[in-house]
Amino acid sequence: MFIYVNGEIVKKEEAVISPFDHGFLYGMGLFETFRVYHGHPFLLDNHITRLNEGLKVLNIEKRFTQDEVCSALMVLLDANGLTNAYIRFNVSAGLGEVGLQVEPYREPNVLIFAKPLPDAGEMAEKKAILLQLKRNTPEGLTRLKSHHYMNNLLAKREIGSSTDVEGIFLTEEGYIAEGIVSNIFWKKGNTVYTPSLATGILNGITRQFTMKAVKTMGMHLEEGLFSMEDVAAAEEIFVTNSIQEIVPISEFEGHTMPGKSGAIVQKLHQLYRESCKTLWSI
Indicate if 15 and 108 belong to the same structural domain: yes
Q: Report pTM.
A: 0.96
CATH number at residue 112: 3.30.470.10
Within this chain, do residues 161 and 112 fall inside the same structural domain, yes or no?
no
CB 73 within 8 A of CB 96: no
Question: Which residues, 6+ apart, have CB-to-CB distance to 149 below 8 Å?
Answer: none
- CA-CA-CA-CA dihedral for 191, 193, 196, 201, to nearest 10: -150
Shared domain for 131 and 231, answered yes or no, is: yes
Q: Do residues 230 and 210 both lie within one domain?
A: yes
Asked if residue 153 and residue 74 are part of one domain, the reply reads no
Is 231 part of a structural domain of the chain? yes
Does some domain include residue 281? no
Number of domains making up the chain: 2
For 239-251, b where at least 16 C-beta lie within 10 A, e where not — what string? bbbbebbbbbbbb
pLDDT tens series, the chain, 282 aa = 999 999 999 999 999 999 999 999 999 999 999 999 999 999 999 999 999 999 999 999 999 999 999 999 999 999 999 999 999 999 999 999 999 999 999 999 999 999 999 988 888 999 999 999 999 999 999 999 999 999 999 999 999 999 999 999 999 999 999 999 999 999 999 999 999 999 999 999 999 999 999 999 999 999 999 999 999 999 999 999 999 999 999 999 989 999 999 999 999 999 999 999 999 999
- Per the domain annotation, does 183 fall within a domain? yes
Of 116, 135, 160, the residue that ends a domain is 116
What is the phi/psi pair of residue 177, to 5°?
Answer: -110, -80
Burial of 223 (0-12, 13-18, 19+ CB in 10 A): middle
User: 244 lies in a domain?
Assistant: yes
Mark whether 229 and 265 lie in a shared domain: yes
Judge whether 282 lies within some domain: no
Do 137 and 265 share a domain, yes or no?
yes
Distance of CA 86 to the CA centre of its chain: 12
Residues 109 and 139 in one domain: no
Tell me: do 41 and 137 sit in the same domain: no
What residues make up the domain containing 242? 126-275
What one-letter code names the amino acid at 141? L
Q: What is the CATH number of the domain that holds 176?
A: 3.20.10.10
- The answer as to whether 280 is a domain residue is no
Bridge partners (DSSP) listed for residue 40? 37
Torsion sign over Cα 2, 88, 137, 49: positive
Cβ-Cβ contacts under 8 Å for 180 (sequence gap 6 or more): 131, 152, 155, 156, 159, 166, 167, 169
**Does residue 244 share a domain with residue 185?**
yes
Q: Which of 116, 137, 154 is the last residue of a domain?
A: 116
Same domain, 30 and 168: no
* Same domain for 228 and 109: no
In a domain, 121, yes or no: no
